[in-house]
């Protein structure tokens, strides 16, 4: 029976990966139907399957709560214009230098990704910066690269879908993981901004630059007042509230779920005093969170089946038997070093939800912790999220920038892969991921 569970478990994951790669079936049906069918093949009754699923759903409840309130909170702040004000003030310091334009790009991408949405980041960053890049004769691939690595670095925050999907699949805690990988996130952000120096040099060699007349014309467009749906006093209050809640959560004063619940309640009352307007906004942005909520609950189904059916134990035992003893202690770091190509070609969904649950038990058998494994997967999967061949967001970005995928990969892949290797080495030196 154990052999059958092992075989069906691997077959189930192969079917899930295949369906994910086709892109013809949405995630919730894949992660619900395939595990249920796999259980039936193994001879489990409906009562047993129901228990498996119940256990899995309970394991993701905290994740669902965190994501729901965080997305609603940042969606409301984006709606009233808080991010537009921040970006506008940053843009006014634009100088007639390629490096400054690129650093502004990094800041815009970093700030706009606070809501955890890669699509939002691309929709904000690319249309805003692309006209400037064209005027300064900077290749749009450079814009896509900076947007990718900065948003990828911000993907490590606990309300971002990457962290939520990974912790849902491996049974970890999003806030705990964030505290653990925060040094890596800081390193990634610093490197993202440092990349600007050699990248700007490369673009200048390619003819990037702007005349004095062109620069003055550009500056004039940045002095236009920013339109907001609320007063500037409210906008400044929103900024202060956001900073305060992030500090409180990071320091452990308040749990992340409760923190965003409180922040959302305050933001709704302050920005929309009318109760009917508050209800309207919750309904308006609730749909944004619903799809990811369904995905997370679906992941819970897969996790419950893998763990409680015995499939996980059988697959782990087989992998442990195959891996050479000499590589066992290094496998976590190897995962971090290869996470970029894995995520680019398989997709972060596949890596997080099909590969990670299996490897979790494998690496722990060799002395690594769950936090170390999750950190290893996050490095590459986050940085390459907007370069993935099987994800929708990269193609949205390509369409906005009018760039084809082959030229984008040719330009961006060496930078992203090189950056991930540097981060992996630094993670090993810092002790976050064992060499």
- Cβ atoms of 230 and 80 within 8 Å: the answer is yes
DSSP for 56-87, written as a single string: HHHHTHHHHHHHHHHHHHHHHHHHHTHHHHHH
* Distant-in-sequence, close-in-space partners of 23: CB < 8 Å, separation ≥ 6: 390
Q: What is the pLDDT of residue 93?
A: 66
Q: Which two tokens stand for residue 54?
A: 């119940």
Q: What is the pLDDT of residue 41?
A: 94
The model's confidence at residue 54, banded by pLDDT at 50, 70 and 90, is very high
More confident residue, 141 or 61: 141
The model's confidence at residue 247, banded by pLDDT at 50, 70 and 90, is confident
- Checking if the pLDDT of 100 tops 70, the result is yes
The mean pLDDT of the chain is 85
Q: What is the pLDDT of residue 87?
A: 66
| 74-84: average pLDDT | 85
- Checking if the pLDDT of 260 tops 70, the result is yes
Q: What is the pLDDT of residue 222?
A: 63
> What is the 8-class DSSP label of residue 283?
H
| 120-129: average pLDDT | 78
- Checking if the pLDDT of 1 tops 60, the result is no
- Checking if the pLDDT of 73 tops 80, the result is yes
Maximum mean pLDDT: which of 82-91, 118-127, 236-245: 236-245
* Distant-in-sequence, close-in-space partners of 298: CB < 8 Å, separation ≥ 6: 27, 28, 29, 30, 31, 32
SS (H, E, C) 143-202: HHHHHHHHHHHHCCCCCCHHHHHHHHHHCCCHHHHHHHHHHHHHHHHHHHHHCHHHHHHH
| 41-55: average pLDDT | 94
Tell me, yes or no, if the pTM score tops 0.75. no
Q: What is the pLDDT of residue 52?
A: 95
């Amino acid at each position: 029976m154990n052999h059958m569970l092992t075989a069906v478990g691997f077959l189930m994951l192969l079917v899930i990966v295949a369906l994910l790669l086709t892109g013809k079936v949405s995630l919730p049906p894949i992660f619900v139907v395939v595990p249920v069918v796999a259980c039936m093949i193994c001879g489990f009754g409906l009562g047993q399957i129901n228990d498996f699923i119940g256990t899995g759903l309970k394991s993701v409840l905290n994740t669902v709560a965190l994501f729901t309130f965080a997305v609603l909170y940042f969606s409301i702040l984006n709606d009233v214009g808080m991010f537009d004000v921040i970006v506008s003030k940053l843009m006014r310091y634009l100088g007639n230098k390629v490096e400054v334009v690129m650093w502004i790009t990094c800041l815009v991408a970093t700030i706009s990704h606070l809501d955890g949405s890669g699509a939002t980041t691309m929709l904000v960053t690319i249309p805003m910066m692309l006209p400037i890049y064209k005027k300064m004769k900077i290749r749009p691939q450079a814009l896509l690269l900076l947007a990718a690595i900065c948003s990828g670095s911000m993907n490590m925050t606990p309300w971002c879908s990457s962290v939520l999907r990974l912790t849902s699949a491996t049974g970890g805690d999003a806030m705990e993981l964030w505290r653990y990988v925060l040094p890596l996130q800081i390193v990634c952000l610093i490197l993202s901004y440092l990349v600007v120096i050699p990248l700007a040099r490369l673009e200048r060699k390619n003819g990037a630059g702007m005349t004095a007349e062109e620069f003055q014309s550009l500056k004039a467009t940045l002095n236009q007042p920013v339109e907001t749906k609320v007063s500037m006093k409210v906008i400044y209050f929103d900024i202060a509230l956001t900073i305060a809640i992030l500090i409180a959560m990071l320091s452990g004063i308040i749990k992340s779920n409760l923190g965003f619940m409180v922040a959302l309640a305050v933001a709704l009352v302050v920005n929309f005093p009318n109760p009917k307007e508050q209800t309207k906004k919750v309904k308006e942005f609730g749909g944004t969170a619903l799809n990811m909520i369904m995905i997370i609950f679906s992941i819970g189904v897969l996790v419950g089946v893998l763990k409680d059916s015995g499939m996980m134990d059988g697959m782990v035992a087989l992998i442990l038997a195959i891996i050479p003893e000499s590589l066992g202690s290094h496998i976590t770091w190897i995962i971090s070093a290869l996470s970029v190509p894995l995520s680019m070609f398989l997709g972060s969904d596949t890596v997080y939800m099909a590969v990670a649950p299996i490897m979790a038990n494998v690496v722990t058998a060799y002395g690594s912790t769950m936090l170390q494994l999750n950190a290893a997967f996050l490095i590459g999967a986050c940085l390459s999220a907007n370069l993935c061949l099987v994800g929708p967001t990269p193609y949205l970005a390509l369409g906005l920038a009018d760039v084809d995928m082959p030229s984008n990969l040719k330009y961006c892949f060496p930078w992203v892969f090189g950056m991930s290797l540097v981060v992996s080495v630094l993670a090993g030196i810092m002790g976050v991921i064992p060499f």
